[in-house]
Amino acid sequence: MLLLVKSETLIPNVKDALVRLGLEHTVARNGGNDIAFEISVDSSALAPQRIAQELSAFGAIYHQRSRTPLLDALPDDFAVEVSAPGGVKVMFGGNHPSVLIAGPCALEEPERLELTAAYLRTMGARVLRGGAVKPRTSPHDFQGVGRAGFRWLAEAAHRHGMACVSEALSEDDVPEALEYLDLIQVGARNMQNFSLLRKLGQGRRPVLLKRSPGSTLREWALAAEHLLSQGNNRVIFCERGVRGLERELRYTLDLAGAAWMQERFRLPMVIDPSHATGSKQIIPRCARAAVAMGFSGVMLEVHPEPSAALSDALQALSFEEAAPLKQLFQQ
């Protein structure tokens, strides 16, 4: 980005403004009487358009076209509404309080789900989660109850005044996901499945876009840009941990990266400490941190009998273990 300052006397003011905005800059003389500032925007949490707006009083600004023009055009107070039958409206982002999304990793059978839904509602959960078609690392592990689960997840959630979210694992799942789910999850392994993104971008349902553990923040943003490019801007990011050098926990929860994404791109951000840590001892603290940092929501795996869970048993919180987190979320 290049800023041509109107007059040399403005330079101290420009410098102050650049420091206030947290922008790296170097002064480069541009011949003649014009003074040019070269501004590096790579390390900035601000959209180029926003910088141009902030600095427009000082002179002419030239910036390269952003790779995320659709995300950049979202307003500062952008929020995503997830609605469900019975007048349920759950707001993510803007100035809305942090939302609790909770439920089992995988749907197992309707009676247990009913018990879980009833409990989670008393805990302040607004969205019930549960995987029906599961992306499992091993083909020998439980693969989920199949798409039939979308319907009973929705029924349980709606009976208790909640919205529901589940993952569409492939394009084949999309028609039924659109029919039954209030929020459709793109799992970490599918973040760059562009044909799935295209299909969900054409559907009129909000999408929870998880971060791939091996992706950069820019790649994650560009995946969201794919959804927006098809006409769907009801996108919520979900940070669920990246693959770092550490092996004591399942992944590394990138709270700073998530904060940067929320500053830079405005889309709401949900934090999933269950998959990020894989450890029930650590999950409650990370959930508290996420709420304290002002993220739009927290997603937790909760199971009535964690030791019997058919997937992700080690990270499932029992009702008793989840209970102290109730105070973080408004009812």
Question: Interface residues with ligand PEP (CB under 6 A)?
Answer: 105, 131, 135, 167, 187-189, 210, 240, 275
Rounded Cα distance between 4 and 16, Å, is 16
User: Beta-carbon neighbour count of residue 153 at 10 Å?
Assistant: 28
Q: Does 312 bind Mn ion (CB under 5 A)?
A: yes
Instruction: Decide which of Mn ion, ligand PEP, none touches 234; Cβ closer than 5 to 8 Å per partner kind.
Output: none
Asked whether 164 and 184 are in contact (CB, 8 A), the reply is no
Tell me if 197 sits within 8 A of 223, measured CB to CB.
Answer: yes
Give residue number: closest CB to Mn ion. 105
d(CA 81, CA 145): 28
CA distances from 21 to 14, 44, 52, 104, 316 (A): 11, 8, 11, 42, 41
Please identify, using beta-carbon distances, which residue of 135 and 304 lies nearer to ligand PEP. 135
Work out what residue 240 binds among ligand PEP, Mn ion, none; the CB cut-off runs from 5 to 8 Å by kind.
ligand PEP
Planar angle of CA 242, 247, 251, nearest 5 degrees: 25
Q: What is the rounded CA–CA span in Å between residue 113 and residue 92? A: 24
Question: Minimal CB distance to ligand PEP: which residue?
Answer: 187
280 binds, among Mn ion, ligand PEP, none (CB under 5 to 8 A by kind): none
Which of the residues 63 through 122 are near Mn ion (CB under 5 A)? 105
In the complex, what is the shortest distance from the CB of residue 3 to ligand PEP, in angstroms, rounded to a whole number? 41
**Residue 288 binding target from Mn ion, ligand PEP, none, CB below 5 to 8 Å by type:** none
- Amino acid identity of residue 295, one-letter, is F
Place of tokens 């009998």: 305
Nearest CB to ligand PEP, comparing residues 72 and 239: 239
Q: Of Mn ion, ligand PEP, none, which one sits near residue 266, judging by CB under 5 to 8 A according to partner kind?
A: none
Give the shortest CB-211-to-Mn ion separation in angstroms: 15
Q: Answer with the entry of Mn ion, ligand PEP, none that 187 interacts with (C-beta below 5 to 8 A by kind).
A: ligand PEP
What CA–CA distance (Å, rounded) separates 190 from 208? Answer: 12
Residue 105 in contact with residue 316, Cβ under 8 Å? yes
Cβ proximity to ligand PEP: between 136 and 198 the closer is: 136
User: What's the min distance (Å) between Cβ of 54 and ligand PEP?
Assistant: 36
Tell me which residues touch Mn ion (CB under 5 A).
105, 312
